[in-house]
């Protein structure tokens, strides 16, 4: 909300700007700030005319020497008749800019160099006057920026309002808070109107049909007004508050809205049918042409104001166009009413409207303020637009609103909540400052009566907050809790996620965080089968971007897009991972619909390495290596199976990862079709792990194994085998057949081509044999090797090369 500071100053004495904004800020006015509208004159300073004489070459010009606080006197030529020695003036130096945009330069005027300008009010954009320079107070300190010594524009107080504080959406409300938080007594304006006309009840009757929705409705009648423009200061102050001036009658309603926070509406009395106003729910199918030019279809959830025949306003939201006050209006009916906040909110929301009125009704308007505002606006209309106020108010009351009138507060309880030692009398005084008058009903127990404008106070904690707010949060002693010590628990999937993060980082990958919103086409781009559960993406009904209405079920598309974007920035190689929940369709209330997933993308390096490796590691094995080490480090024993059915992985260069008999993830190079769908022109591989499922699998605890001090015997073995065999199976078989002394076996070469028959491949294994207690004999080693060779021949048809 914005309010003119000068206007506020008419209501209550204000401290300095800084203190005002700070105290309001601390007291709950979000971002309270004083803004100055008007020209930026921060470059203009106070100058002292030390010497002033006639210009040697021009009769009407003066030649002055000005002290600007810089230490040197500045020589300027001045054309104003009123300049004289000893004046304090507004000085703009060379290089500074005037409000009209001109940048001052050193100039020669009739042969004399002028280094700046003594400014007039007009040149400073302060007024239209141009009869000479602006003369400042003689006490103004030389060198001070001008905005610090004179008021250079309208100042407005701007602040945010929390939804519970409808009571501060007015000058009265702000003044009350200034009183509570700083001091001073608010002085509200006179409200009583001069009643001279025939009784209002002759012109109109009021009825409330929707008693729960409207608690009080008051109408006043003003006859014979002359609708026209409002006085200047009215226009300015409304504008400062962000309200456009319409005419003197409508402006008066808005003026009082700003003064007291009570929304008002003025109807052209001549347009009302049947001399009757009724508050009721709209009937289905009724229509109302609103002031904003739109005709709205109404339904029974809308509360409307009607005349004898039809709706004439959306209650608490907006008036109707037919009954609008215009130039030809002579007699008016003023509405001041108290509507139920929720009804107004629903009506406003249904029609997509938010107005000054609905904003206040939704947040709560003083239920006792209806008549005061009706009086005040009638008084102002007569003042600004002439006419006669009809005597009397025509009013009706609906149901009593449900309100909290009294709250008991045990001061000791308040202190226990805050950690303070505020005395009963002080608590009572603090509450009085926010308008809650208390009486002591028992030792240390107060009963506070809640003022009608504070619809946000209901329980004793609310009063405690008021005590704390006025007392000052900064005065509450800073302490530390004393409580039982309990061991700290971390969710196990959280722990695994952290573990996996560290392993990915150790493997050289960097962590990315993506937004979970994905476009419609992802499932197709990933070649997901029609019955793939990952196709069942949750839909956001109000997405931020129309083209991204879905929540991801897999991290794959996010990472593929990241890879593409980074590669398009000419990054040599991408190595990224993400750990995040994915959103699966809710199968049951039990949950499991947001499993934690981990995924990584690796791309083939594009630039030749400086230390050129002749035999670069195939992409798949780089990816597998990352996943393999990660799982081993985290304590899992994994089984790798080829021929994954993952639709977006290369069928020949991918594997599923099984732990504890469950598939927990996949590794593989991207299927070329999918790569094309994601505009990837560099080979990429993807690792995906379901951390939720992985976490449920058994882990192998790390265990010590004795190491041998005996020499190891090494043997290399090259074997011709069928090229369709999985080397992993062969390795496992060797490990099994090698006996207790086989310490390690490694595949160190794989060769097919010249010298190797078609359909065969040569695999070379390095075997190491070792005993714990003694060196092995040549005979023992040979026996083990023979056993392995026999096994290879027998089981795999292998032959020594």
Partner 1 sequence: MTADKPDLGTLEERAGVEIAAAGDLHELTAVRARYLGKKGSVAALLRSIGELEPSERGRVGQEANAAKQRIEAAAAARKGDLERAGREQVLASQRLDVSLRGTATRTGHLHPITHVTRDMVQFFTSLGFSIEEGPEIETEYNNFEALNIPADHPARDEQDTFYLDDGRLLRTHTSNVQIRVMAGRKPPFRFIAPGRVYRHDLSPRHSPMFHQIEGFLVDERVTFGDLKGVLYGFGRHLMGRDIELRFRSNHFPFTEPSAEMDYACVLCDKQGCAACSQHGWMEWGGCGMIHPKVLERCEIDPDRYQGFAFGMGIDRTAMLRYGIPQLRHLFEGDVRVLEQI
Q: Of residues 478-497, which lie at the interface with partner 1 (CB under 8 A)?
A: 478-486, 488-491, 493-494
Q: 138 or 478: whose CB is closer to partner 1?
A: 478
Contact between 27 and partner 1 per CB under 8 A: yes
CA gap 559, 618 in Å, rounded: 20
Which long-range contacts (C-beta less than 8 Å, at least 24 apart) are formed by 293-296?
293/321, 296/351
Q: Report 595-654 residues binding partner 1 (CB under 8 A).
A: 610-611
CB of 209 to partner 1, least distance (A): 22
Q: 421 or 729: whose CB is closer to partner 1?
A: 421
Dihedral class, residue 322 (left if φ above 0, else alpha if ψ from -120 to 50, else beta):
alpha
Contact between 591 and partner 1 per CB under 8 A: yes
Options 1-9, 246-254, 302-310, 414-422: segment touching partner 1 (CB under 8 A): 414-422
Binds partner 1 (CB under 8 A): choice among 50, 517, 697, 756: 517
C-alpha of 27 from chain center: 22
Q: What mask of x and - would describe binding to partner 1 in positions 445 to 464, judged by CB under 8 A?
A: -----------x--x-xx-x
Contact between 512 and partner 1 per CB under 8 A: yes
Contact between 569 and partner 1 per CB under 8 A: yes
Encoded tokens for 61: 């010009």
Number of residues that make up the chain: 801
Q: 273 or 586: whose CB is closer to partner 1?
A: 586
Q: 593 or 789: whose CB is closer to partner 1?
A: 593
Contact between 562 and partner 1 per CB under 8 A: yes
Contact between 138 and partner 1 per CB under 8 A: no
Binds partner 1 (CB under 8 A): choice among 10, 30, 292, 423: 30
Q: 101 or 481: whose CB is closer to partner 1?
A: 481
Q: Report 355-394 residues binding partner 1 (CB under 8 A).
A: 362-363
Residue whose structure tokens are 């028992």? 442
Encoded tokens for 72: 């040197």
- Could you tell me the CA-to-CA distances from 343 to 288, 317, 361 in Å, in that order? 17, 10, 9
Contact between 346 and partner 1 per CB under 8 A: yes
CB of 483 to partner 1, least distance (A): 5
Closest residue by Cα to residue 29 from 38, 20, 37: 20
Contact between 165 and partner 1 per CB under 8 A: yes
Q: Report 524-543 residues binding partner 1 (CB under 8 A).
A: 538-543
**How many residues sit in the footprint of partner 1 (CB under 8 A)?**
88
Q: 447 or 461: whose CB is closer to partner 1?
A: 461
> Can you spell out the DSSP letters for 12-49?
S----HHHHHHHHHHTT-EEEEEEE-S---TT-EEEEE
CA gap 271, 323 in Å, rounded: 5
CA gap 135, 39 in Å, rounded: 18
Binds partner 1 (CB under 8 A): choice among 1, 118, 526, 574: 574
Contact between 576 and partner 1 per CB under 8 A: yes
Options 262-270, 311-319, 340-348, 674-682: segment touching partner 1 (CB under 8 A): 340-348
Cα dihedral 724→727→729→733 (10° resolution): 120
Residue 545 per-residue DSSP state? S
Binds partner 1 (CB under 8 A): choice among 59, 128, 232, 474: 474
Contact between 586 and partner 1 per CB under 8 A: yes
First to last CA, the chain: 89
Binds partner 1 (CB under 8 A): choice among 54, 145, 326, 419: 419
Contact between 333 and partner 1 per CB under 8 A: no
C-alpha of 596 from chain center: 26
Contact between 418 and partner 1 per CB under 8 A: yes
Binds partner 1 (CB under 8 A): choice among 39, 47, 398, 516: 516
Which long-range contacts (C-beta less than 8 Å, at least 24 apart) are formed by 623-629?
623/667, 623/668, 623/669, 623/685, 623/686, 623/687, 624/655, 624/667, 625/507, 626/504, 626/507, 626/509, 626/600, 626/602, 626/687, 627/657, 627/665, 627/667, 627/687, 627/689, 629/503, 629/506, 629/507
CB of 273 to partner 1, least distance (A): 33
Sheet holding 510-511, edge to edge: 510-511, 575-581, 596-603, 684-690, 662-670, 649-659, 638-642
Q: 473 or 748: whose CB is closer to partner 1?
A: 473
């Amino acid at each position: 909300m914005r309010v003119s500071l000068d206007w506020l100053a008419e209501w209550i004495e204000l401290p300095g700007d800084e203190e005002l904004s700070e105290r309001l800020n601390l007291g709950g006015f979000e971002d309270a700030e004083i803004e100055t509208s008007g020209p930026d004159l921060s470059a203009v300073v106070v100058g002292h005319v030390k010497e002033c004489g006639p210009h040697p070459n021009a009769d009407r010009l003066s030649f002055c020497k000005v002290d600007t606080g810089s230490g040197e006197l500045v020589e300027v030529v001045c054309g104003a008749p009123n300049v004289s020695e000893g004046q304090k003036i507004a000085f703009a130096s060379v290089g500074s800019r005037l409000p009209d945009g001109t940048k001052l330069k050193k100039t020669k005027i009739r042969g004399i160099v002028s280094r700046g300008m003594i400014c007039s009010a007009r040149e400073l954009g302060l007024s239209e006057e141009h009869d000479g320079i602006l003369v400042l107070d003689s006490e103004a300190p030389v060198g001070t920026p001008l905005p610090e010594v004179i008021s250079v524009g309208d100042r407005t107080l701007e602040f945010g309002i929390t939804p519970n504080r409808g009571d501060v959406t007015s000058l009265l409300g702000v003044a009350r808070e200034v009183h509570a938080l700083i001091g001073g007594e608010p002085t509200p304006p006179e409200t009583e109107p001069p009643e001279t006309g025939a009784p209002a009840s002759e012109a109109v009757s009021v009825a409330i049909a929707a008693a729960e929705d409207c608690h009080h409705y008051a109408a006043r009648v003003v006859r014979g007004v002359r609708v026209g423009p409002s006085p200047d200061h009215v226009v300015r102050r409304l504008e400062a508050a962000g309200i456009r001036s319409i005419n003197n009658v409508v402006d008066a309603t808005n003026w009082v809205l700003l003064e007291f926070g009570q929304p008002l509406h003025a109807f052209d009395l001549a347009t009302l049918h049947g001399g009757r106003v009724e508050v009721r729910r709209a009937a289905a199918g009724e229509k109302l042409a609103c002031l904003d030019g739109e005709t709205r279809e109404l339904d029974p959830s809308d509360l409307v104001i009607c005349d004898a025949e039809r709706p004439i306003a959306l209650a608490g939201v907006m008036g109707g166009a037919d009954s609008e006050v215009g130039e030809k209006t002579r007699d008016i009916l003023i509405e001041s009413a108290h509507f139920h906040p929720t009804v107004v909110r629903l009506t406003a929301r249904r029609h997509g409207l938010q107005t000054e009125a609905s904003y206040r009704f939704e947040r709560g308007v003083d239920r006792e303020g209806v008549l005061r505002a009706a009086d005040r606006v009638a008084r102002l209309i007569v003042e600004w637009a002439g006419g006669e106020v009809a005597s009397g108010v025509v009013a009706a009351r609906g149901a009593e609103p449900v309100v909290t009138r009294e709250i008991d507060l045990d001061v000791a309880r308040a202190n226990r909540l805050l950690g303070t030692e505020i005395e009963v009398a002080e608590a009572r005084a603090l509450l009085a400052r926010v308008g809650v008058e208390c009486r002591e009903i028992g030792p240390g127990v107060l009963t506070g009566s809640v003022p009608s404008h504070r619809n946000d106070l209901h329980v004793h904690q609310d009063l405690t907050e008021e005590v704390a707010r006025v007392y000052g949060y900064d005065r509450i002693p800073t302490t530390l809790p004393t409580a039982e010590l309990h061991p700290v628990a971390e969710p196990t999937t959280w722990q695994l996620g952290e573990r996996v993060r560290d392993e990915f980082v150790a493997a050289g990958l960097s962590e990315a965080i993506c937004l979970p919103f994905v476009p419609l086409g992802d499932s197709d781009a990933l070649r997901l089968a029609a019955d793939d559960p990952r196709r069942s993406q949750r839909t956001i009904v109000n997405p931020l971007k129309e083209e991204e209405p879905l929540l991801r079920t897999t991290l794959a598309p996010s990472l593929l897009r990241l890879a593409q974007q980074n590669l398009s920035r000419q990054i040599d190689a991408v190595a990224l991972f993400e750990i995040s929940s994915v959103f699966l369709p809710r199968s049951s209330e039990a949950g499991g619909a947001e499993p934690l997933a981990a995924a990584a993308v690796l791309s083939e390096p594009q630039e030749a390495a400086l230390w050129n490796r002749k035999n670069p590691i195939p992409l798949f094995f780089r990816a597998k290596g990352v996943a393999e080490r990660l799982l081993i480090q985290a304590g899992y024993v994994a089984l790798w199976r080829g021929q994954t059915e993952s639709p977006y992985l290369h069928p020949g260069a991918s594997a599923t990862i099984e732990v504890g008999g469950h598939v927990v993830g996949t590794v593989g190079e991207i299927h070329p079709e999918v790569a094309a769908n994601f505009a990837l022109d560099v080979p990429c591989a993807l690792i995906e792990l379901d951390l939720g499922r992985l976490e449920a699998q058994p882990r192998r605890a790390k265990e010590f194994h004795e190491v041998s001090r005996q020499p190891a015997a090494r043997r290399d073995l090259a074997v011709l085998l069928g090229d369709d065999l999985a080397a992993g199976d062969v390795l496992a078989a060797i490990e099994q057949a090698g006996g207790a002394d086989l310490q390690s076996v490694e595949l160190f070469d794989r060769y097919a081509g010249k010298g190797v028959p078609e359909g065969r491949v040569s695999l070379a294994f390095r075997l190491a044999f070792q005993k714990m207690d003694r060196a092995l004999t040549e005979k023992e080693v040979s026996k083990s090797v023979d056993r392995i060779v026999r096994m290879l021949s027998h089981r795999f048809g292998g032959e020594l090369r």
